[in-house]
Structure 1
Amino acid sequence: MGCTASVYAVGRRRKKPTITEVVVYVPPMRIPAQSDLQRSLKGLIPRDLVDRLACLRKQISLVAEDTGGSAMTELSRALEEYLSLLIGLTKKEHGLENLVEFKWKVLEDGRQENSVSNSWFEFLSVVHMMAILTLSEADSLMIPKDHSGSGIRVYL
């Protein structure tokens, strides 16, 4: 019992289907926008920690803008380091959760900007950016390297 398309005809070989097109969806990447961490956190946490947070945030933004998000290993390393420092701002006992206004913008247009004064927003935005990077890396592995004469169209 089964559908007629799944039943093999006796004596005939079934032709293997070929995939002629690969379509890849790439969601827009959001990157950190200018936020004044030094002024908001001055005197509340050590200055070297504030400077390190600001430096990593700026590095993530610059690398993403300059490469369009293609420098995945450098971005991933910076995001992981930033995330490990950022987790301290999310703890309620430190009282730093709502002190900093974190701003993020869409990389493609740069005009649409989100701004929330909550360290959990920043934490989730970093995790989102890490997920988009992982998705982009997976998509790049799906795209065939040899485009010459294969008849394959690639949409990015």
Structure 2
Amino acid sequence: MILAAPGWRAAVKRPEALARRAAEAALREAGAAGAMTVLLADDGTVKRLNGQHRAKAKPTNVLSFPAAMPGHLGDVALALGVVRREAREAGRHPAAHLAHLVAHGALHLAGHDHLAAGQARRMERAEARVMRRLGLPNPWKEGRAAQRQRGGP
């Protein structure tokens, strides 16, 4: 865990511990083993990474970078401002959103994806199970209609 933006501590109590628990639960869910790095960063850092690796000049909530090294699954980076804004817009606590996004990134590193409808449903179910194990709300309970109204998937 790398806490690069100290504001995470103001937004979430013990963010490193929560991110570690979420990552471990997601890897268990996926049956994956290996190390991963979680970078809790600011929007500027994630914007730069998103531009360098995805040619998108804006911050995003979470980025996953699979590794080509044995024993290391890869890296996940989260943007504090985006995570806080999305949590506020969804009426969720930033801690629950942080845990969901770390789990989402870890599942990507373990081979999950959401490009096709079937893949997306499987990944959403896996994320819901991880959140249940962490004692946190299901991020998909809100329903598709409300997500579409906000411009979500």
Length-normalised TM-score, structure 1: 0.27
- Higher helix fraction (1 or 2): 2
Query: Which structure carries more relative contact order (alpha carbon 8 Å, separation 6+)?
Result: 1
Q: Kindly name which structure, 1 or 2, has the bigger radius of gyration based on alpha carbons.
A: 1
Length-normalised TM-score, structure 2: 0.27
